[in-house]
Amino acid sequence: MPANAYQLLDQIAERTSAGSDKLIFTPWLYGERTPVDDHLVRGGFHNQSLNTTRAHMVRAVFEGVAYNMRWLLKYVEQFNKRPVTSLNMVGGGAKSNIWCQIHADVLNRSIQQMKDPIETNVRGAALLASAGLGYLKYDEIGTHVKIANTYTPNPDHRKIYDELFAEFIAIYESNRKIHARLNRQH
């Protein structure tokens, strides 16, 4: 694997149109835990044709993870009894500008890409410990969190992502019994 593999995948996804020519990737490679608890469901590519390219598949993977996040976001907002207006992106995926933009577009929310996103968990733990020890106040923690970029939804992508998200959910609903039969342990 080349050292810059993730950057190469980002470049491929960036130059592929939103919606990946209606190719949908479901990321349930070993079941799903959130928002449904279904250890038997499996992922895959759906609506693949002879016109499907590797570029479509790369971008569809990025989009499929974002569709799954959108599915979960509905339940988070129901639980919180209010809409989420923006999300902080952390971890390795947050190093990708296109990944952040796709999430903004699919979720129709602004995405804040955290500075040094891989170290956010350890910094958060250190900030909580500092507050717990009295070195700073809990409401000061946010002043120590740095945002690298903010991504806003592209309205030109709204229609395709709304359409494909509805089909993403339909794929789960129409295939879950098949997956249960195929993956049930006897």
| The residue type at 99 | W
Q: Which fold has domain 5-183?
A: Nucleotidyltransferase; domain 5 (3.30.420)
Residues 6+ apart with CB under 8 A from 114: 88, 89, 90, 94, 120, 145, 146, 147, 148
What is residue 80's DSSP assignment?
A: H
**C-beta separation of 75 from 52 below 8 A:** no
What are the backbone angles phi and psi of residue 58, rounded to the nearest 5°? -60, -50
The token pair at 5 is 């593999």
- For the entire predicted model, the pTM comes to 0.92
Categorize the per-residue pLDDT at 186 as very low, low, confident or very high, splitting at 50, 70 and 90. low
Question: What are 99-126's pLDDT values in tens digits?
Answer: 999 999 999 999 999 998 998 889 999 9
N-terminal to C-terminal alpha carbon distance within the chain:
38
Domain locations in the chain as residue ranges: 5-183
